[in-house]
Structure 1
Amino acid sequence: MSTLKVRVDKKKLERAAYILKCVAHPVRISIIDLLEQRERLTVSEIQQVLEIEQSLLSHHLTNMRDKGIVDTQREGKRVYYFLTDTTITSIISCINGCRVF
């Protein structure tokens, strides 16, 4: 019988759990999906697609920025949000391909 072991480094598991806790909300997963499609978007552009209150959207974006999932770039009066690491978008493919959902 083969010996079982955890195949992922403990630090990677801790980081994954941290990120997954942060994005464990339909609005946040939707934001990730939108930013995968456009690379960067303003709050207004995201709000228009998601059809939610601007204050609620700002709350989610602030949380995601504080956790290092998104960041901002200012151009004049506009503030653009973008993903800090686009590998997080693989979560969308996983959700689409999973039979549990």
Structure 2
Amino acid sequence: MSTLKVRVDQKKLDRAAYVLKCVAHPVRISIIDLLDQRERLTVSQLQEVLQVEQSLLSHHLTNMRDKGIVYTQREGKNVYYFLTDNTITDIIGCINGCKLF
């Protein structure tokens, strides 16, 4: 038992918990999945696929931006959303592969 230890650095564990709390919502996980497929999307494009009210979608995107999950880039009238780190999309594979779901 003496060789048993936590294999992840505490700083990484803290960040993982922070990020997982942020994305722990079906709409937010769906946003991650869609941004993995297209790299960048507008609120209108996301809303078309997700079929949620724009105000609710904007709330989720603002929360994700504030937590550092997505960032934005304005091009004319459009604001595009991007993932800050594409490795977060690994969560989609974990969900699909997990027998608990």
TM-score, with normalisation over the residues of structure 2?
A: 0.98
Write the letter of the residue equivalent to 2:10: K
Unmatched 5+ stretches in structure 1: none
1:12-91 matches, cutoff 5 A: 12-91=12-91
Root-mean-square deviation (CA, aligned residues, Å) is 0.7
Write the letter of the residue equivalent to 1:10: Q
Q: Which runs of 4+ in 1 moved over 6 A?
A: none
SS state of the match for residue 3, structure 1?
coil
Listed one character per residue, the Cα deviations across residues 12-47 of structure 1 (whole Å, up to 9, x for unaligned) are: 000000000000000000000000000000000000
Unmatched 5+ stretches in structure 2: none
Q: Count residues with an aligned counterpart.
A: 101
TM-score, with normalisation over the residues of structure 1?
A: 0.98
Structure 2 CA distance, aligned partners of 1:53 and 1:36? 22
Structure 2 CA distance, aligned partners of 1:44 and 1:77? 12
